[in-house]
Structure 1
Amino acid sequence: MSNGPVVVLTALNLEYQAVRQRLADPQVHRHERGTRFEVGTVQGTSCRVALGLTSKGNHSAAVIAERAIQEFSPVAVLFVGVAGALWDTVRLGDVVMATHVYAYHGGTSEDDGLKARPRVWEAPHGISQLASHLARLNDWAEPAPGHADAPQVRFGAIAAGEVVQNSRISAEAKWIRQHYNDALAVEMEAAGVAQAGHLNGAPVAIVRGISDRADGTKNSADDRNWQPRAAANAAAFATRLAVELVGEEEEATLRRDDRARSADGFDRGVSNTAHNSTVGIMAGSVTGSSVHMNTVPKSSPTDLIAELNGFREQLGQHRAEGSLDEDTYREALTDLGSALRAAGGNTPESSKRTVMTLRRLRGLVIDCPALVAALASLIAAAGDPA
């Protein structure tokens, strides 16, 4: 099964603490460039979460998101926090999950005005479907004292810009209404995280609790009261989503492994008669009644890296022959790059990351038996005999 965590990122300490309170035994994980994450499990589950703080803004969020993706090879990246509502139909405390993200500051300035040049990233279909299912179950929110109405999950566009939006009449507010009037909420990090996920082949979900209405009331006493509740609601839905994502990934990994074992020839057949038994098994040699299994010793990091680079050439050959389509080839190269980076380490954790990534890669190229067989040897060389 995959050992990859779900990465959860936030921009503010308030949002970070809302997620951290839902983790059991978080442990500091320091990136080689100094970025600190905390890795723990969602309370009462085995779902691992790597939690990180990006600071405000799309640029910072993009850099930290890419760093987290490279470091953890996650099942998914969730960006969690608060946002301002753009319409009165979205209540304070509700959770907005992005169906797509607009980078609304893109444009070109011409003599007759500013023309929009939008960029947009859609949420992965599988995550959107799962989130909609959890929203229908409606059992994720904890009751808030003194508030009879439970928060709801709303699905729609989120607009991500480079300024704090706190007006209904400013030029920026009019720009959003004119060009992005289907957006339910506005914030400052989703576009950066979505771009990082897109470039690295990692699924991204944006989960925002509504803390204000982006109408001039930000930083008011009411806003300060709503911020922690909105952050807590977003954290509650996001961690529930993370648990379900890990569960689905584990099921998918088991299915891929079953198919891979079958393709590798690891199936065992036993036929019994009254006087003898015949056992079909992959073995190195048989002496009398003794079966000597082939084993692949764990390679040194240098040897494994050389073997992984050799596998890159095999991928290129299969693409040239047409047995790998272009999209699968690019995704395979991404996974191979992650495996190479992990293989450069010399720790149990790096070895586990190498094996995990190679097993995911094996599932990706399952329709190419030669590649599957080569990956079986690489996985064993990385330290996993299975």
Structure 2
Amino acid sequence: MPRAVILTALPVEYLAVRPHLTNLQEEMHPQGTIYERGKFIANGQAWEVGIAEVGAGNAGAAVEAERAIAYFKPDILFFVGIAGGIKDVAIGDVVAATKVYGYESGKVGEQFFTRPALGQSTYALVQRAKSEARKGEWLQRLPDSPVSQPRVFVASIAAGEKVVASKQSDIFQFLRTSYNDAIAVEMEGFGFLSAAFAYPNIQAIVIRGISDLIAGKNDDSVEPEQIRQERAARHASAFAFEILAKLEMASQSLRESQEIKISATNLQKRRRLEQRQEALQAEWNLRSEKLKQLRQALVIESGISVKFQLEQQIQEEDKQLKQLEDELNSVEQALHSVNESLPKTEDIDPTPANRRIQSNSPNFFAYDDAWVGRDRLIRELSDRIRRHCRLLILVGITGIGKTALGERLAVEVADWFDNDWSHYHQENFDDEQQTSDFASVAARWLENWGELITPEDRKDPQRLLNRLIRHLREHRYLVQMDSLENILQGNEDEGWNDFKDEWWLKFFDSYLKAESCESCFILTSQDLPGQIEEVGTRSQNFWYCQPLSGLEKPEQIALFEKTELDVSFNSTSRTYLERIGSAYEGHPLALRIIAGEIKNKPFEGNVSAYWNNYGSEVEEVEKAIAEAQEGNSVGADDKWQLDRFTKMLRRNVRSRLNKTFKRLQKDAKWAYIMLCETSVYRCAVTKDFWLSHLEDWDRNEDEQKAALDALRDRYLVEEVVESDLSLLRQHNLIRGVSLEHLKKLDEAGIST
């Protein structure tokens, strides 16, 4: 969606702009400027428009224009407001500035010598203003028909820091002598256009409504000043929005004329290249999937001879994959050359390279073709990335799909980084072979991105920080950092979500406070990094935290269907699968493992056979929940084994959950004990019940609350509202592991 920014100086000007927009929402720049962002729809084209009231004066207008450009990254920039008429104009007329003189520029000696400085509006907008001035259609945007029809002038104006109130003043005489083509005077246009001049890709113009004439400026006998200013502001705003409404129509006509001229020869060549690319891409996808499966098998396999065979196959597939990538790159370069000769238009169908992941896309850790669901969340989060979110944090329990969602978002916003997958980088802190301190990671990133890093650089974290911030500001990267919990630490008093290396905190603090930035980070973590919350309090528009829960019921069914299981309505299979999905509360990892087990040997897709083998485990959970609903809310002897009733579940789910519990036990003893002891509850209970379990361990109130906060920060406790009460509960998978650890706790006789 194209984007425009409209700046005003006075409240009366801002209030005249606002009614033209819908869906307005307030936003705050880190430096304190208050914006509103809304939509303007005309002639079938939707514009995203940011507006602000920035105060009077050229200097302030320049600063705020720079700030708005960095924040919104607009295509079009307007300054809309009122002005005083010098000559030719009447009250209510509109002036679209061709240029704005900074009339106070000069040298003071025994007399004042002018050194003319000027800001120029963009040629295309000036031409559009002239066209709309002739048509007069802009008058239809006024709420009421004016008594006398205002005129539109496309001409020069002057801007300075003084209010010119009399024809007898020295300033007025100076303007008539030195800038005699200026027909209006105001106080912001020169600074505004001077700032816009540094951005040649942004079109800018100043639109003014005449609210008074220099002669009789303070004369309210005919009409009060407030009425004149409101009318002038409405006229200027209506004309500005008429220009905005017609801009897309002009570009649409240009595109249509361009498409007619497309070379038939080049189109045929492009089709042949696309067909070749399709075939190569299909083969690359198949081999890539095979390579991924081989690597997964290598991780699981323990036999030495089989591992050796797998390694040989992986090397061969990797070699074939690289050859395909080289051929794909050659085809894509040829395709790029052909496309360069065709019109640059959004209406032409994108090439296959732009419709799917490029051949140089990464081998994702978690995202694959089995992905289902979270469509609405993907739209919301991808929109945040495209707009102004610099830091997106995905949090939740292990296996809930954080990494996969981050990777899925990368695919969704690939066009945002021009489908250049060298600008997508993944750093996984589960990899113990890689150093995770800030200096090492920063140096690694900068080297990957083509910068020279010297040994002296590696010893200087501040220098690396500055270079990394500069690189991220000037180039667009999407960086995904997975398993952030592995670089966090804490203590009983302060919590367990601080960075082990303080330079990570310094980096994110500087990153969020930067005046502008092209890049975005996606962080995935089982723990909420609380220090980011603290440093981000003044940059709330630039970061966002999204907790993840399980898949919804329709998404669970879609997952089973994608695995080619029978989910037809009224079938026994669907009923069993729904019960499994409900017991696991839509946990994506667990459901994918179960779906894979059902599809493969020995069940070969027979859901009923799988249920006959393992359905009792789900029934155990259903029975306990039903008893809780009847009032029996405590079940210390429940045997929930959702994480471990098959080999694959033990290998892929139980192992990850146990790792989470071991880390909790090591870092936060009392939080671990609270989690174990509260596993006796089959349903959600009040906070007091949870806190009371540490009273038996002689923990004071502050320690009890600190333990609960630790569980909240790690998303090991879920908060729900029932009958107007805020209650706490454990996810069914978490409860199964907690019950097992509770028994171990009792057997070990752990004490304070």
TM-score by length of 1: 0.70
Would the aligned equivalents of 2:129 and 2:154 in 1 still touch at CA under 8 Å? no
Specify every segment of 5 or more residues in structure 1 that has no aligned partner in the other structure, as ranges.
Answer: 272-277, 314-332, 352-386
**1:79-111 deviation digits (Å, cap 9, x = unpaired):** 000000001x21111100001110000111222
Shift of 1:33: 1.6
**1:290-344 deviation digits (Å, cap 9, x = unpaired):** 999736254248899958994899xxxxxxxxxxxxxxxxxxx9x9837471314
Residue 21 (1) aligns with residue 19 (2): yes
**Which aligned pairs between 1:363-374 and structure 2 lie closer than 5 A?**
none
> Alignment partner of 1:121: what SS?
strand
Matched with 2:278 is 281
Opposite residue 70 of structure 1, the aligned amino acid is: A
**1:54-86 deviation digits (Å, cap 9, x = unpaired):** 101111111110001111111111000000000
Matched with 1:51 is 51
Q: What CA distance in whole angstroms lies between the structure 2 residues aligned with 1:338 and 1:184?
A: 43
Specify every segment of 5 or more residues in structure 2 that has no aligned partner in the other structure, as ranges.
Answer: 290-356, 363-409, 411-423, 428-440, 453-469, 478-516, 524-540, 544-752
**1:265-290 deviation digits (Å, cap 9, x = unpaired):** 9933399xxxxxx7553734538999
Q: What CA distance in whole angstroms lies between the structure 1 residues aligned with 2:10 and 2:284?
A: 66
Matched with 2:37 is 39
Shift of 1:151: 1.5
Would the aligned equivalents of 2:98 and 2:156 in 1 still touch at CA under 8 Å? yes
- With over 3 angstroms needed to count, the CA separation of the structure-2 counterparts of 1:287 and 1:281, relative to structure 1, is closer
Q: What CA distance in whole angstroms lies between the structure 2 residues aligned with 1:211 and 1:301?
A: 57
Opposite residue 157 of structure 1, the aligned amino acid is: S
> Alignment partner of 1:56: what SS?
coil
- With over 3 angstroms needed to count, the CA separation of the structure-2 counterparts of 1:217 and 1:285, relative to structure 1, is closer
290-299 or 187-196, larger mean C-alpha shift: 290-299
Opposite residue 50 of structure 1, the aligned amino acid is: G
- With over 3 angstroms needed to count, the CA separation of the structure-2 counterparts of 1:306 and 1:170, relative to structure 1, is farther
Would the aligned equivalents of 2:166 and 2:215 in 1 still touch at CA under 8 Å? yes
Residue 63 (1) aligns with residue 63 (2): yes
Relative contact order, higher structure (CA 8 A, sep 6+) = 1
Would the aligned equivalents of 2:158 and 2:184 in 1 still touch at CA under 8 Å? yes
Would the aligned equivalents of 1:301 and 1:344 in 2 still touch at CA under 8 Å? no
Q: What CA distance in whole angstroms lies between the structure 1 residues aligned with 2:89 and 2:451?
A: 49
Would the aligned equivalents of 2:2 and 2:47 in 1 still touch at CA under 8 Å? no
- Counterpart of 2:236 (choices 234, 237, 248) is 234
- With over 3 angstroms needed to count, the CA separation of the structure-2 counterparts of 1:344 and 1:160, relative to structure 1, is same
Opposite residue 224 of structure 1, the aligned amino acid is: Q
> Alignment partner of 1:342: what SS?
coil
- With over 3 angstroms needed to count, the CA separation of the structure-2 counterparts of 1:174 and 1:36, relative to structure 1, is same
Matched with 2:181 is 182
Would the aligned equivalents of 1:100 and 1:156 in 2 still touch at CA under 8 Å? yes
Would the aligned equivalents of 1:285 and 1:291 in 2 still touch at CA under 8 Å? no
Would the aligned equivalents of 2:93 and 2:209 in 1 still touch at CA under 8 Å? yes
> Alignment partner of 1:267: what SS?
helix
**Which aligned pairs between 1:4-153 and structure 2 lie closer than 5 A?**
4-44=2-42, 46-87=46-87, 89-111=88-110, 113-142=111-140, 147-153=146-152
Residue 269 (1) aligns with residue 272 (2): yes
- With over 3 angstroms needed to count, the CA separation of the structure-2 counterparts of 1:124 and 1:171, relative to structure 1, is same
Matched with 1:296 is 361
Residue 343 (1) aligns with residue 480 (2): no
Matched with 1:372 is none
Q: What CA distance in whole angstroms lies between the structure 2 residues aligned with 1:182 and 1:137?
A: 24
> Alignment partner of 1:199: what SS?
coil
Shift of 1:152: 1.6
> Alignment partner of 1:28: what SS?
strand
Opposite residue 78 of structure 1, the aligned amino acid is: F
Matched with 1:192 is 191
Q: What CA distance in whole angstroms lies between the structure 1 residues aligned with 2:218 and 2:474?
A: 44
Would the aligned equivalents of 1:301 and 1:346 in 2 still touch at CA under 8 Å? no
How many residue pairs get aligned? The number is: 316
Shift of 1:215: 2.7
Opposite residue 269 of structure 1, the aligned amino acid is: R
- With over 3 angstroms needed to count, the CA separation of the structure-2 counterparts of 1:281 and 1:237, relative to structure 1, is same
Opposite residue 178 of structure 2, the aligned amino acid is: H
Residue 207 (1) aligns with residue 207 (2): yes
**1:341-376 deviation digits (Å, cap 9, x = unpaired):** 1314559x989xxxxxxxxxxxxxxxxxxxxxxxxx
Matched with 2:681 is none
Shift of 1:217: 2.0
- With over 3 angstroms needed to count, the CA separation of the structure-2 counterparts of 1:147 and 1:288, relative to structure 1, is closer
Matched with 1:243 is 245
Would the aligned equivalents of 2:2 and 2:46 in 1 still touch at CA under 8 Å? no
Rg larger in 1 or in 2? Answer: 2
**1:120-173 deviation digits (Å, cap 9, x = unpaired):** 122211111111112222111146757442222101111000011111111111
> Alignment partner of 2:280: what SS?
coil
Q: What CA distance in whole angstroms lies between the structure 1 residues aligned with 2:451 and 2:251?
A: 25
> Alignment partner of 1:167: what SS?
coil
> Alignment partner of 1:286: what SS?
helix
Would the aligned equivalents of 2:57 and 2:161 in 1 still touch at CA under 8 Å? yes
Q: What CA distance in whole angstroms lies between the structure 1 residues aligned with 2:174 and 2:189?
A: 18
**1:172-221 deviation digits (Å, cap 9, x = unpaired):** 11111110010010000001101110123332200000000023423734
- With over 3 angstroms needed to count, the CA separation of the structure-2 counterparts of 1:14 and 1:69, relative to structure 1, is same
- With over 3 angstroms needed to count, the CA separation of the structure-2 counterparts of 1:345 and 1:268, relative to structure 1, is same
Opposite residue 361 of structure 2, the aligned amino acid is: V
Q: What CA distance in whole angstroms lies between the structure 2 residues aligned with 1:156 and 1:248?
A: 22
- With over 3 angstroms needed to count, the CA separation of the structure-2 counterparts of 1:128 and 1:301, relative to structure 1, is farther
Matched with 2:169 is 170
Would the aligned equivalents of 1:75 and 1:249 in 2 still touch at CA under 8 Å? no
Greater percentage in strand: 1
Q: What CA distance in whole angstroms lies between the structure 2 residues aligned with 1:101 and 1:144?
A: 29
Opposite residue 286 of structure 1, the aligned amino acid is: E
Would the aligned equivalents of 2:473 and 2:519 in 1 still touch at CA under 8 Å? no
> Alignment partner of 2:126: what SS?
helix
TM-score by length of 2: 0.38
Opposite residue 162 of structure 1, the aligned amino acid is: E
Matched with 1:364 is none
Shift of 1:248: 4.9
304-313 or 202-211, larger mean C-alpha shift: 304-313
Greater percentage in helix: 2
143-152 or 100-109, larger mean C-alpha shift: 143-152
